[in-house]
A and B are shown apart, each in its own frame.
Chain A
Amino acid sequence: MAKLKYDAKRRRALNIVWDVSWDYHFDPDFLAYTESGTPDLYLNAVVGFTRKYYDVKLIHQMFEEMEDSALRDTFTDLFWLGLEYATYAKEAPVRPVLPYLRKQHARAYFDGTKLDKTGVAHEMQAARWHEVLGEGLDLHDPWAKGLYANLCFDPSWDTQQLCDHFRKITKKYFVSHFLVRESLEKVIISKGLGDFIDWLLPHVFRKQESVFNFLYSKKQAMDILAGKNAHNGLMAIITGQTASENYNYIIDCFGASIYPPRKMLDIDQAWCNGPHRGCHLHFTRGRLGSKGATGEASRWLQGAHAQRVKNLSYYKDHGEQCRKSIARLTHQLRSVMRMAQTRLPVPAKEGELVPGLVWRALKVNDSRVFFERETVSSPDFTVDLMLDASASRGEYQQVIASQAYVIAESLRQCGIPYQVYSFCTLRNYTVLTLFKDYADKKRCTNIFNYVATGWNRDGLALRGARQLMGDFTQTRKILIMLTDAEPNDDKPLVGDGLFSSSEYRDEKAVANTADEAASLRREGIRIIGLINGENQHIMKDARKIFGEDCVEVRDLDKMADSVGKMLCRQIESL
C-alpha cells in the first residue's frame, strides 16, 4: 500500500504541473510537497508555469550548474523564488484565481514549522510571502534588501536573460559578500566544498535543508540507485561488494532495468520497506550475449547461455509429451471459458415460444411460456506466471522451463492475456526477469532463457509481482507461482525493534511469504502455488502460503491436469 500512496502523491504533483502547462510529456526536475507530504498546489503550479513560459532546457542547465555547488539548496531555492515572481506576473492576468492561491500559500508558509529555520533562502522566501500578504518585508540588512530586489525577475526577460541575471546575482551577493579573494568563488560555486559536506553529513540531511520543499532531481535519483550515496560497511568494502559494485554486477548479469531511474527509485522506496528494508528490486528483460561483461559477470552469462541450450534440448526430447500437455490444458481452459459465457434459457413472459409450456398458460395461468436467454459471463482476467529461479531449483531447471512453456502456450492458445517472469535474489537485489508481458502476442520462447541462481526472497518477489501487474481496476488477476515453497535469503528479515532482525529462512521466511501472499489476496489477486521440490514438508509449508490453492507438480504428464483443475476453479470463481 505504501507504493500506492507514494505513487499517488507523485502522480498528483505531476498532474498539477501538467494542469497548468498542458504538456503531459513534461517530466519536471522538481516537484514540491508541503511539510505534511502532500503535493503543494501553488508551487507545483509554478513549476508548470515555468514550463509554459520558459525554455526548460536552459532552466535545467541552470539547475545542473548549481548541482555541484556547495550552496546548491540555497541557490535552487533562490532561483525558484525568482521564477515564482516572473511566472506569477505572466500568468495572473489569465488566471484570476492565482492571487488567491498565492496568498493561501503565503499564509500556509507562516503557519508551518519552517519559521524556526534560518538562512538566506528562508529569509528571502519569508520576505516574498510577507509582501504577498501586504506586510513589511522584514529585511533590515541592505545586503538582504538588495538580494531580494534582484530576485524579482523581470517578466519581460527571456530564459537566457533570467539565467544570466541569476548568475550575476550569485556572484555579486555570495562570492563578493563573503569575499575575501577571488579563488573563494570556486569554493562556494563549485564541487569541492559540496563533496566535503557530503562526506561529513549523510546526503539526506543536506538535501532537506531546502526550504522550498522541492525534491528529487533526476541526477540524484540515478546516484541513489547506483549506490553512489550509500554508506558501505567495512565488510562490503573488503569483499568488493559495495552498493555500487553490487548494482553494476546485477546490471552486467541480468541487463538494464525496464524502468527509468526515477521510477526505479520510487519502486524501491515503495516496496523495499518493512521486513525488506535495505533490499532492492530490479526488473529486467534479461540481456543478450555477454559483450562488455568481465570477470564474474562474464562467467555467469556463459553459464546462463549453456543453460538455455539445455532447456531447449530437454523440451525437444520431451516434445510429444509437452504437446499433449498443451492440448489437454488448452482444452480444459477453453471449456471453462465457454461455460462462463453460456447463455442459459430461463422461462419468461416473452421471447422464444416453448410449445411444451403453453398448457401452463391455459391451465395454471402461468404466462411464462417463452424462453429468454440470460447470458452469464465472467469478467476479464489476466494470468501472471512467476517462476522461482533460485539456486535450489538447479537440478530442475530444464523441467521448470518446459512446464512453464506448457502453461504459457496453453494460455496463449486460449487468448488469455498473460505475462511470465522469474525471480531470484542475490547481492541484496531481488531480480525479476520478464520473459513476456501482456501486450506480447507471440509464443513465449524466452522462457527457455530461464536460469536458476542465488537465493529466493519470495516475500519481496511477491511485492515485485504486484508492481509488474500494474493497474487492475478493469481486470482480475491470477498469479501462478512455480516454486519449492522454501524461501531463503542471506539478507535478514528486518524486524520492528533495533535488534529484532532474524535470518530469512525456514518458518520466519515462510510466514513472511504467507503475509505478502495474503496482502495480494486482499487486493483481489488469486494466487495458485505449483509446488515442485524435494523437502518432505514441502506441501505443509506451501499450504501456509497458498492455503488450499496449491498443488504438487512433479512430472510433465500430470502437470497439465493438476494445473488445469486449479486454474479452472479460479476462473469459475471470478
Chain B
Amino acid sequence: MLSFLKEEKISPDLIQGVENYRKEFPAPPELQPRIPVPHFHYYGKDVWEEAIAALLCGQNLLLAGPKATGKNVLAENLAAVFGRPMWNVSFHINMDATGMLGTDTFKNGEVEFRPGPVYQCAVKGGFGVFDEINMARNEAMAVLHSLLDFRHTVDIPGYDLLHADPACRFIATMNYGYSGTRELNEALASRFAVIQLPTISMESLERLLKDEFPALRSEARKAFCQIFKDLEKKCQESEISEKALDLRGMLDAIHLMEAGLEAHKALDLGIVNKSFDEYEPGLIRDVINLHIPGNYTKEEIFEG
C-alpha cells in the first residue's frame, strides 16, 4: 500500500509519518488476519492526504458523502496503510451501548462480561470503522464520547475503566441523505475530523475499471463509466433512488459479461433489478441503451 501512496504522489512527509507510525505500533501476529488487504484502491490525492494527516495527529475521522463515493473503501485502505487490525461496526436504529462496548452474559453458572467490537478495538489498538454512524440514535452514541475525545477512556458499569490503546483510531462513515439517517449532534460531530468525500470522478472511475478489468476495451470502459455518471446525476436530481447507483453492482455486471453473459442481461442483474419500483427500471434501462447497443458482444467489450 505504501508504494501505492507513492504512485499517488502523496506528500513524502505524510508517507514518512505512516512509516514511523507502523514502526511504533507493530501489529502482533495474532491480529495480522484482521489487517485488511484491500481489493480496491481509493483514488484521490487530496482526500488521502487529509485522512492520513488527521489520523497521524491522533484524530478520529468522519467520512461523509453520498452513495458510491468510496467511504468504506477508504476506511479499509487506511487501516491497511497504517497496518492496523480493523473492527467494523454497522450501526442501526437500535444500536446501544451493549452492542458497541459489550454486555453481560451467563457462562458456566456465572455472569461475565462479553466484550463488544468497540471495546476490543480500543484495547487492542485497532481501527474501528463505524459504518453509517448516523443510523444510530445520538443518545446511544453518548457512551462513546469519552472514548472518542482526549480522554480515550470509557467506564464500563460494574467493571473497570477502559483505557484505549494509543494506536487506536475510529473512522466513521455516513451518508446524509439515506432514509433512516439523522443529524449528528454537535457533541458527536466535534469528536471527529470531517472529510466530505467527492463523488468519484470520471478519471478515477476509468482507472478503477482499468485495474479491475485489464482486458476491457477503452470504448466499452468509457461507456460503462458514462452510464454510472449518468445514473449518479439522475440520483442527484432525485429522478431515481440510490438503489441503482451501485458501483459494486456495475463491477459485478462486468464480471458477468466477462464470464459470457450478454451485456444488457448482466447490467439487469447488477444494476437495473436492484430497483423494485414500478417505473425506475425503465429510466435506468434508457440510460444504458443510450450508451451500449442491444447487440453488444463480448468481443466488442473485451480484448483477446
In the assembled complex, A367 has its CB within 8 A of some CB on chain B? yes
A375 CA / B105 CA spacing, docked (Å): 21
A209 CA / B226 CA spacing, docked (Å): 37
CB distance A473 to B277 under 8 Å? Answer: yes
Stretch at the interface among A61-69, A92-100, A452-460, A537-545: A92-100
Stretch at the interface among A10-18, A436-444, A494-502: A10-18
Identify which of residues 267-303 in chain B touch chain A, using a CB-to-CB cut-off of 8 Å.
277-279, 282-283, 286-287, 289-295
In the assembled complex, A303 has its CB within 8 A of some CB on chain B? no
Contact with A along B201-232 (1 / 0, CB 8 A): 00000000000000000010001000000100
Q: Which residue of B lies closest to A16 (CB)?
A: B286
Name A97's contact: one of B179, B234, B290 (CB within 8 Å): B290
A: number of interface residues (CB 8 Å): 35
CB distance A350 to B103 under 8 Å? Answer: yes
In the assembled complex, A218 has its CB within 8 A of some CB on chain B? no
Stretch at the interface among B43-51, B63-71, B106-114, B166-174: B106-114
CB distance B294 to A104 under 8 Å? Answer: yes
Given A349-B106, A361-B109, A20 and B279 contact (CB-CB distance below 8 Å): no
Identify which of residues 219-256 in chain B touch chain A, using a CB-to-CB cut-off of 8 Å.
219, 223, 230, 233-234, 237, 239
In the assembled complex, A133 has its CB within 8 A of some CB on chain B? no
CB of A403 to closest CB in B, whole Å = 35
Residues in B with CB closer than 8 Å to A377 are 93
Name B278's contact: one of A8, A45, A362, A375 (CB within 8 Å): A8
Residues in B with CB closer than 8 Å to A39 are 286
Residues in B with CB closer than 8 Å to A24 are 233, 237, 239
In the assembled complex, A394 has its CB within 8 A of some CB on chain B? no
Q: Which residue of B lies closest to A104 (CB)?
A: B294
In the assembled complex, B183 has its CB within 8 A of some CB on chain A? no
Residues in A with CB closer than 8 Å to B230 are 19
Residues in B with CB closer than 8 Å to A349 are 105-106
Name A350's contact: one of B93, B104, B109, B294 (CB within 8 Å): B104
Q: Which residue of B lies closest to A352 (CB)?
A: B104
In the assembled complex, B120 has its CB within 8 A of some CB on chain A? no
Residues in B with CB closer than 8 Å to A375 are 93-94
Residues in B with CB closer than 8 Å to A41 are 286, 289-290
CB distance B239 to A18 under 8 Å? Answer: yes
CB distance A19 to B287 under 8 Å? Answer: yes
In the assembled complex, A101 has its CB within 8 A of some CB on chain B? yes
Given A350-B105, A353-B104, A8 and B223 contact (CB-CB distance below 8 Å): no
CB of B179 to closest CB in A, whole Å = 6
CB distance B291 to A97 under 8 Å? Answer: yes
Given A15-B234, A24-B239, A97-B292, A8 and B279 contact (CB-CB distance below 8 Å): yes
In the assembled complex, B181 has its CB within 8 A of some CB on chain A? no
Given A15-B234, A375-B93, A362 and B287 contact (CB-CB distance below 8 Å): no
CB of A181 to closest CB in B, whole Å = 49
Residues in A with CB closer than 8 Å to B105 are 349-350, 370
Residues in A with CB closer than 8 Å to B103 are 350-351, 370
Residues in A with CB closer than 8 Å to B106 are 349-350, 361, 367, 369-370
Name A12's contact: one of B96, B111, B219, B279 (CB within 8 Å): B279
A526 CA / B191 CA spacing, docked (Å): 44
Residues in A with CB closer than 8 Å to B291 are 95, 97
In the assembled complex, B98 has its CB within 8 A of some CB on chain A? yes
CB of A475 to closest CB in B, whole Å = 10
CB of A13 to closest CB in B, whole Å = 9
CB distance B290 to A12 under 8 Å? Answer: no
A15 CA / B244 CA spacing, docked (Å): 15
Residues in B with CB closer than 8 Å to A369 are 106
In the assembled complex, A22 has its CB within 8 A of some CB on chain B? yes
A491 CA / B162 CA spacing, docked (Å): 77
Name A22's contact: one of B109, B233, B278 (CB within 8 Å): B233
CB distance A19 to B293 under 8 Å? Answer: no
Q: Which residue of B lies closest to A45 (CB)?
A: B290
CB of A539 to closest CB in B, whole Å = 38
Name B98's contact: one of A96, A100, A351, A367 (CB within 8 Å): A351
CB distance A19 to B286 under 8 Å? Answer: yes
A96 CA / B96 CA spacing, docked (Å): 53
Given A12-B282, A15-B283, A97 and B293 contact (CB-CB distance below 8 Å): yes
Identify which of residues 67-104 in chain B touch chain A, using a CB-to-CB cut-off of 8 Å.
93-94, 96, 98, 103-104
Residues in A with CB closer than 8 Å to B94 are 375
CB distance B239 to A15 under 8 Å? Answer: yes
CB of A217 to closest CB in B, whole Å = 23
Residues in A with CB closer than 8 Å to B223 are 96-97
In the assembled complex, A474 has its CB within 8 A of some CB on chain B? yes
Name A101's contact: one of B104, B114, B289 (CB within 8 Å): B289
A352 CA / B239 CA spacing, docked (Å): 46
CB of B143 to closest CB in A, whole Å = 14
A39 CA / B290 CA spacing, docked (Å): 13
Identify which of residues 162-196 in chain B touch chain A, using a CB-to-CB cut-off of 8 Å.
179
Residues in A with CB closer than 8 Å to B294 are 100, 104
Name B283's contact: one of A12, A22, A95, A352 (CB within 8 Å): A12
CB distance B293 to A350 under 8 Å? Answer: no
Identify which of residues 9-47 in chain A touch chain B, using a CB-to-CB cut-off of 8 Å.
11-12, 15-16, 18-20, 22, 24, 39, 41, 45
CB of A388 to closest CB in B, whole Å = 32
CB distance B98 to A15 under 8 Å? Answer: no
Residue in A15, A18, A95 whose Cβ sees the most chain B Cβ within 10 Å:
A15
Name A19's contact: one of B278, B279, B290 (CB within 8 Å): B290
Q: Which residue of A lies closest to B241 (CB)?
A: A473
A509 CA / B287 CA spacing, docked (Å): 46
A361 CA / B106 CA spacing, docked (Å): 9
CB of A457 to closest CB in B, whole Å = 29
CB distance B104 to A351 under 8 Å? Answer: yes
Residues in B with CB closer than 8 Å to A351 are 98, 103-104
CB of B95 to closest CB in A, whole Å = 11
CB of B96 to closest CB in A, whole Å = 8
CB distance A350 to B290 under 8 Å? Answer: no
A369 CA / B109 CA spacing, docked (Å): 11
Residues in B with CB closer than 8 Å to A22 are 233
A473 CA / B295 CA spacing, docked (Å): 35
CB distance A96 to B287 under 8 Å? Answer: no
Residues in B with CB closer than 8 Å to A45 are 290
Residues in A with CB closer than 8 Å to B104 are 350-353, 370
CB of B282 to closest CB in A, whole Å = 5
CB of A100 to closest CB in B, whole Å = 4
Contact with B along A66-103 (1 / 0, CB 8 A): 00000000000000000000000000000111001100
Residues in A with CB closer than 8 Å to B290 are 16, 19-20, 41, 45, 95, 97, 101
Residues in A with CB closer than 8 Å to B233 are 22, 24
Given A24-B239, A97-B223, A369-B106, A12 and B286 contact (CB-CB distance below 8 Å): yes
CB of B186 to closest CB in A, whole Å = 22
Identify which of residues 269-304 in chain A touch chain B, using a CB-to-CB cut-off of 8 Å.
none
Contact with B along A324-367 (1 / 0, CB 8 A): 00000000000000000000000001111100000001100001
Q: Which residue of A lies closest to B107 (CB)?
A: A367
CB of A396 to closest CB in B, whole Å = 41
What are 16 A-B pairs with beta-carbon distances under 8 A?
A8-B282, A11-B239, A15-B283, A19-B230, A24-B239, A41-B290, A95-B291, A96-B223, A97-B223, A97-B289, A101-B289, A349-B106, A350-B98, A350-B105, A361-B109, A474-B179
What are the 7 A-B residue pairs with the smallest beta carbon separation, nearest first? A100-B293, A24-B237, A8-B279, A350-B103, A350-B105, A15-B283, A367-B106
Q: A24-B239, A97-B290, A362-B109 are in contact. List 16 more A-B contacts (CB 8 A).
A: A8-B278, A8-B279, A11-B283, A18-B237, A19-B230, A24-B237, A41-B286, A95-B291, A97-B223, A97-B291, A100-B293, A101-B289, A101-B293, A351-B103, A367-B106, A370-B105
